[in-house]
Chain A
């Protein structure tokens, strides 16, 4: 009986983990359809100095920024319009995609 509970508990934890797991390939589709026009599909935005490079950025920071645009903590006419269509899972997915690209932004060196 005890082992059934253990299996159930493990399955619940696993299910919760999988629901939260980010899928960079699903994120790539969002990058191609939504973000890429300004930020670049690979997150380099080389021709648009006003739009941040996302390649190599921390994924949890990207999610934090997107949630800020959604809640109004960050006010930006372009981003405010765009995030309205994204679910939290979409945000995690697209953040995982950009974080996995060849870095455009890097940690600052230790001097």
Chain B
């Protein structure tokens, strides 16, 4: 019985480790320099102060200094259909997770306080 429960504990530990290593691998490290180049398209809308979207009419959000993790989450939500906005869905679907991490690193570093 003890033997069996030991084996069970071992299995649990192994699967926990597998989950941890998978989630660590799932998020690539962002490179702001690479992100600067990849963000070229983004800046067509997000780089222009007071740029306004039409139908519906609102300002394109400011991204300078925004949290890196939030930018990645938002891009994934557009990619996965959890946020609907045609332009952003199309953009997000063209990006790899490495691209998202790089772009997020770039925008989060654009902060006049840095």
Contacts and interface: CB of A to CB of B under 8 A. Distances in A.
A67 to B, nearest CB: 8
A108 B110 contact: yes
The 9 closest A-B pairs by CB, nearest first: A58-B59, A106-B64, A49-B69, A64-B58, A107-B49, A60-B58, A105-B62, A49-B67, A75-B82
Question: Could you say which interface size class chain A belongs to?
Answer: 20 to 34
Given A63-B58, A109-B110, A68 B83 contact: yes
Contact of B61 (A45, A58, A68, A73): A58
A87 B26 CA distance: 38
Q: Chain A's interface: helix, strand, loop or mixed, by majority?
A: loop
Interface in A49-69: 49-53, 56-58, 60-61, 63-64, 68
Interface of B: 43, 46-47, 49, 56-70, 73-74, 77, 82-85, 107, 110-112
A110 B49 CA distance: 9
Interface of A: 45, 48-53, 56-58, 60-61, 63-64, 68, 73-76, 103-110
Contact of A50 (B65, B70, B107, B111): B70
A88 to B, nearest CB: 13
A21 B82 CA distance: 31
Most buried by B among A45, A49, A103: A49
Contacts of A64: 56, 58
Contact of A58 (B58, B66, B70, B77): B58
B58 A76 contact: no
A57 B67 contact: no
A53 B58 contact: no
B59 A53 contact: no
Contacts of B62: 56-58, 103, 105-108
Nearest to B111: A106
A106 B109 CA distance: 11
